[in-house]
């Protein structure tokens, strides 16, 4: 709103001064660097041909015109080609007043578009680890951000519950499990199954080693070790519906789901729909037929079906095996259609690691070639891996950071910090425990979401996650601090209504804080456009940081002018509200006290 007024003002200035049509929405404004006076900066360099003047002169000329004709412009200064604009105190207090009275500030009207967000997508052969956490938090947060931008959002989870890797843990359990149950082992179901997945791998490796010692070529040994052959046989049994195998599969997967449910619950993550690959893996074969009929696919001599993507700058890609069985791509093609049938989306987001960039590039190209109109709305939210100081995480080698362990550690650390700081006075145990969860989860989610999703990131378990500085708890703390102010305000029966004209001159701190508040809609929009929770994370940190500066320097209750007191409480209230809203977009709760 302030920004728009200035853009229009500059547009009008160009018309009046240079008889030049400059679209208001095309007027680029940037925040003024803090070493100069002003809030908004207009760069005149790009318009030198229009103004036909030196940058400084043009800047002054536009500045003069704005000061004369636009009420909110109180002053300006020109440094080289940069026109720095200072707004009047009144315009700022008016702006805050508008935001205060607008209960839907920062909310976007429904835009009538549907978007599906698929994320998490775990395998049912091992528990979730740190990499899954980034995936889950990203997907959940992105869904929230899109919803806040007016989309109708559906969150879905496509569980990889079948395949050779699932059979590996089944086989190991069958051989060495002695009918162990999660209860008997004292393990969550997913951890129990994970144990057998690792066990399979150990035996498998031993067998390979043995064969190599006997003189077998290592590559052949990998294919001929008894364990892997048994696993393959088991997969065939499963696919043919062998009862014993299916019963075992259902029992073990049931345990895993129970385990996953607990983890999702702890993380605060929920889905609208659960898809299972055991129900979807055969989909797509019809699409292969369709593609052959349309001439999009072609068959090779051995009967395998391919798509030629060389015109698109890619390779030929297999879409159906010679034996007629489906590959990953076949299934995903079918899933696309199924999802669109279930929920006719305008956009469909796949939250999947960047190791699958090529797969999705190919998938989207195929759907487009098949003439699916929704193909343009398919989007791979490709995120970078979470690396450890030792390198990549490998579940079979035990170098993973387990999700459940990490969550518990975070809660423990939160408890420790809270107690050390003496913050639990007056809290009952339930309240305290709930606070530890809020803080621990906030720290972890913020840590994983603050980094640009596209970039890979490093997690150092030794150094663990901080609770000070650029962290979730810092922002949560700021909210708790403001809550204390608001409690005091209401106990003194001081309201938030004020007369803007009576507030008087504002300090630099107050102006900057309102400016930051006014930027919220921009950040929200940008976060949706880029599918990037990191933009919200950065915004809310800046906002909290700005508030803390204000809090430190500007007294609230120790002020004579009644309107000024109410204005500052209102400023606090609006800030707290935006912190809460922003953190909700990241899936993070904020406490009233901490």
Partner RNA sequence: GGUUGCGUAGCUCAACUGGAUAGAGCAGCUGCCUUCUAAGCAGCAGGUUCGGGGUUCGAGUCCCUGCGCAAUCACCA
- Which of the residues 522 through 541 are near RNA (CB under 7 A)? 526, 530, 534-535, 538, 541
Site for RNA in 159-188 (CB under 7 A): 160, 163-164
Minimum distance, C-beta of residue 156 to RNA, in the bound complex (Å)? 16
Minimum distance, C-beta of residue 279 to RNA, in the bound complex (Å)? 13
Site for RNA in 251-290 (CB under 7 A): 277
* CA neighbor of 517 nearest in space, from 97, 59, 35, 30: 97
Q: Is 354 exposed, middle or buried (0-12, 13-18, 19+ CB in 10 A)?
A: middle
Minimum distance, C-beta of residue 512 to RNA, in the bound complex (Å)? 10
- CA R_g for the chain: 30
CA distance 195 to 591: 38
Interface region with RNA, contact rule CB under 7 A, candidates 25-33, 98-106, 371-379, 397-405 = 25-33
Size of the site for RNA (CB under 7 A): 93
Site for RNA in 345-364 (CB under 7 A): 354-359
243 counts as binding RNA under rule CB under 7 A:
no
Site for RNA in 385-414 (CB under 7 A): 385, 392, 414
Interface with RNA (CB under 7 A), residue from 138, 536, 554, 586: 554
CA distance 167 to 393: 22
Minimum distance, C-beta of residue 466 to RNA, in the bound complex (Å)? 5
Interface with RNA (CB under 7 A), residue from 90, 198, 427, 457: 457
* 99/475 with CB nearer RNA: 475
- Using DSSP, state whether 39 is helix, strand or coil: coil
Using the structure block, give the residue that is written with the tokens 């007191």. 565
* CA neighbor of 366 nearest in space, from 322, 300, 303, 318: 318
39 counts as binding RNA under rule CB under 7 A:
no
* 1/184 with CB nearer RNA: 1
CA distance 268 to 223: 42
Minimum distance, C-beta of residue 302 to RNA, in the bound complex (Å)? 4
Interface with RNA (CB under 7 A), residue from 72, 551, 577, 579: 551
Spell out the residues 6+ positions from residue 116 whose beta carbon is closer than 8 angstroms to its own: 153, 154, 156, 339, 343, 345, 347, 348, 349
Q: What is the DSSP string of 148-210?
A: HTT-EEEEEEEEB--SHHHHHHHHHHHHH-TT--HHHHTS-HHHHHHHHHHHHHHHHHHHHHH
Interface with RNA (CB under 7 A), residue from 14, 238, 477, 515: 477
298 counts as binding RNA under rule CB under 7 A:
no
Site for RNA in 42-81 (CB under 7 A): 43, 45-46, 79-81
Interface with RNA (CB under 7 A), residue from 257, 328, 343, 379: 328
- Using DSSP, state whether 454 is helix, strand or coil: coil
- Using DSSP, state whether 478 is helix, strand or coil: helix
Strands 40-43 and 29-31: antiparallel
* 15/80 with CB nearer RNA: 80
| Contacts of range 196-202, beta carbons closer than 8 Å, 24 or more positions apart | 196/169, 196/170, 196/172, 197/125, 197/126, 197/165, 197/168, 197/169, 197/172, 197/395, 197/396, 198/395, 198/396, 198/398, 199/172, 200/168, 200/169, 200/171, 200/172, 200/227, 200/231, 201/168, 201/396
Q: Does residue 271 contact residue 200 with C-beta atoms inside 8 Å?
A: no
Interface region with RNA, contact rule CB under 7 A, candidates 89-97, 98-106, 261-269, 483-491 = 483-491
* Contact string (CB under 7 A) for RNA, positions 94-123, x = contact: -----------------------------x
* 177/476 with CB nearer RNA: 476
Minimum distance, C-beta of residue 180 to RNA, in the bound complex (Å)? 26
* 126/182 with CB nearer RNA: 126
- Using DSSP, state whether 459 is helix, strand or coil: coil
* 96/480 with CB nearer RNA: 480
Minimum distance, C-beta of residue 2 to RNA, in the bound complex (Å)? 14
Residue 166 CA from chain centroid, whole number: 29
Minimum distance, C-beta of residue 534 to RNA, in the bound complex (Å)? 6
Site for RNA in 422-441 (CB under 7 A): 423, 435, 439
Interface region with RNA, contact rule CB under 7 A, candidates 111-119, 288-296, 341-349, 472-480 = 472-480
């Amino acid at each position: 709103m302030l920004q728009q007024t200035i853009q229009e003002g500059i547009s009008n200035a160009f018309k009046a001064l240079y008889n030049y049509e400059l679209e208001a929405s095309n007027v680029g404004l940037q925040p003024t660097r803090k070493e100069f006076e002003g809030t908004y900066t207009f760069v005149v360099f790009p318009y030198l041909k229009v103004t036909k003047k030196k940058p400084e002169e043009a800047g002054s000329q536009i500045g003069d015109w704005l000061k004369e004709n636009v009420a909110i412009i109180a002053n300006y200064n020109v440094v080289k080609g940069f026109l720095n604009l200072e707004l009047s105190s009144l315009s700022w207090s008016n702006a805050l007043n508008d935001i205060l009275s607008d209960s839907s500030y920062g909310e976007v009207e429904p835009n009538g578009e549907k978007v599906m967000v698929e994320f998490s997508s775990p395998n049912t052969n091992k528990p979730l680890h740190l990499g899954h956490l980034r995936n889950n938090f990203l997907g959940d947060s992105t869904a929230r951000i899109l919803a806040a931008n007016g989309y109708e959002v559906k969150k879905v989870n496509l569980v990889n519950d079948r395949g050779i890797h699932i059979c590996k843990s089944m086989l190991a359990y069958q051989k060495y499990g002695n009918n162990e149950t999660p209860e008997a082992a004292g393990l969550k179901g997913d951890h129990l199954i994970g144990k057998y997945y690792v066990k399979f791998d150990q035996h498998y490796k031993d067998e390979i080693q043995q064969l190599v010692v006997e003189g077998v070529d290592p590559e052949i040994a990998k294919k001929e070790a008894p364990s892997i052959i048994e696993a393959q046989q088991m997969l065939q049994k499963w696919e043919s519906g062998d009862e014993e195998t299916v019963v075992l599969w259902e029992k073990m997967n049931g345990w895993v789901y129970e385990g996953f449910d607990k983890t999702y619950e702890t993380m605060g993550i929920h889905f609208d729909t659960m898809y299972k690959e055991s129900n979807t893996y055969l989909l797509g074969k019809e699409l292969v037929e369709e593609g052959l009929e349309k001439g999009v696919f072609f068959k090779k001599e051995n009967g395998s079906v391919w798509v030629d993507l060389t015109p698109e700058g890619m390779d030929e890609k297999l879409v159906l095996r010679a034996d007629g069985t489906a590959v990953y791509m076949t299934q995903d093609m079918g899933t696309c259609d199924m999802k669109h049938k279930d929920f006719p989306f305008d956009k469909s987001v796949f939250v999947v690691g960047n190791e699958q960039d090529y797969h999705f590039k190919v998938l989207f190209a195929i759907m487009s070639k098949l003439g699916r109109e929704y193909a343009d709305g398919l989007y791979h939210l490709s995120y970078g891996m979470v690396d450890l100081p030792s390198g990549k995480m490998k579940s079979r080698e035990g170098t993973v950071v387990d999700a459940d362990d990490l969550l518990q550690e975070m809660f423990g650390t939160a408890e420790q910090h809270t107690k050390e700081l003496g913050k639990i006075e007056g809290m009952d145990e339930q309240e305290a425990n709930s606070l530890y969860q809020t803080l621990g989860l906030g720290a972890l989610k913020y840590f994983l979401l603050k980094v640009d999703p596209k970039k890979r990131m490093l997690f150092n378990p030794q150094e663990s996650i901080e609770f000070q500085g650029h962290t979730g708890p810092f922002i949560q703390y700021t909210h708790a601090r403001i809550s204390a102010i608001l409690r005091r305000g209401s106990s003194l029966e001081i309201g938030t209504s004020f007369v803007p004209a009576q507030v008087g001159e504002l300090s630099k701190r107050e102006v900057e804080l309102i400016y930051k508040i006014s930027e919220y809609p921009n950040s929200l929009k940008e976060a949706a456009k880029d599918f990037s929770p990191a933009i919200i994370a950065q915004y809310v940190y800046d906002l909290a940081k700005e508030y803390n500066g204000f809090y430190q320097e500007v007294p609230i209750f120790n002020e004579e002018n009644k309107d000024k007191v109410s204005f500052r409480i209102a400023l606090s209230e609006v800030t707290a509200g935006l912190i809460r809203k922003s953190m909700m977009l990241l899936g993070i709760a904020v406490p009233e006290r901490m």
